[in-house]
Copies of this chain bind each other. A is one copy, B any other.
Amino acid sequence: MQKEIPGEERFKVRRLEISDKSKGFIELLQQLSVCDSVPEEEFRTRFEELKSHGDDHVICVIEDDQSGKIIATGSVFVEKKFLRNCAKVGHIEDVVVDSSARGLKLGQKIVSSLTDHARCVGCYKVILDCSVDNIGFYEKCGFKQKEIQMARYFDQ
């Protein structure tokens, strides 16, 4: 019989590793938006590129130790400004929890970890854009509604 792992231990937040591609990381992103399968070499190039930014661009994941699958992720990158005396702002992006793992508060765990990271590296605020449906979730994470996101798409 498989030993039961307590939730705290089973769902630890850690940084993305290159081996997570084979643990369903891209498939997880596909639940958020369009994302074809990424060739190995392209994945490695982007991974190394982001890693070179060190603490200025961090992707967090939660791996389910029982299934060996990545079941939650989110990223934060640090923008450096001249405004507010050369301040830093954390931007949270691409938060998603596997559909089979909803209700376990993994989303909150990821957002909390990304927020803590932004605070630790000296950001004065952390921001993100979400759909109207997700406002309640982010309010529970300590966020408040602020401005309007505008977008302009280019023809592909």
Contact = CB atoms under 8 A, between A and B. Distances in A.
Contacts of A124: 153-154, 156
Contact of A153 (B50, B85, B125): B125
Query: What band does the interface of chain A fall in when counting residues whose beta carbon is under 8 Å from B?
Result: 35 or more
Contacts of A77: 79
A contacts with B: majority SS: mixed
A60 interface: no
A146 B135 contact: no
13 contacts: A26-B82, A32-B83, A42-B85, A46-B82, A46-B86, A50-B80, A91-B91, A123-B154, A124-B154, A143-B151, A144-B151, A145-B149, A145-B150
